[in-house]
Amino acid sequence: MEELREKLKALIIDKLRLEGKKPQDIGDEMPLFGEGLGLDSIDALELVVAIEQAFGIKIEDGEVGVKAFRNVATLADFIKSKKGGAA
């Protein structure tokens, strides 16, 4: 699970071009939006596409996305559940 979380952090930094950020700068429980990492709705769309492509999963709707994208830990749990426990 730790490997998946680190992969997600690197993907977030790369796909959203967060210059000056390193994976260790993003805490597992740090909110991705608002006062946490500070992502916005455009970042969310880009991140959904990147996650779907990278992990071969589908994020069905906005309500699911809001819960899954709360932080890196919830996102990793979501991906793991979609992939049947194998990430």
Per-domain residue ranges for the chain?
2-82
DSSP state of 21: -
Contact in structure between 76 and 85 (CB atoms under 8 Å): no
Residue 86 predicted with pLDDT over 70: no
pTM recorded for the entire structure: 0.90
Residue 80 predicted with pLDDT over 60: yes
Q: Structure tokens of 62? A: 């906005």
- Over the stretch 34-78, which tens digit does the pLDDT of each residue have? 999 999 999 999 999 999 999 999 998 888 888 999 999 999 999
* Helix H or strand E encompassing 11: helix 2-15
Chain-centroid distance of CA 68 in Å reads 8
Which CATH architecture best describes the domain 2-82? Orthogonal Bundle (1.10)
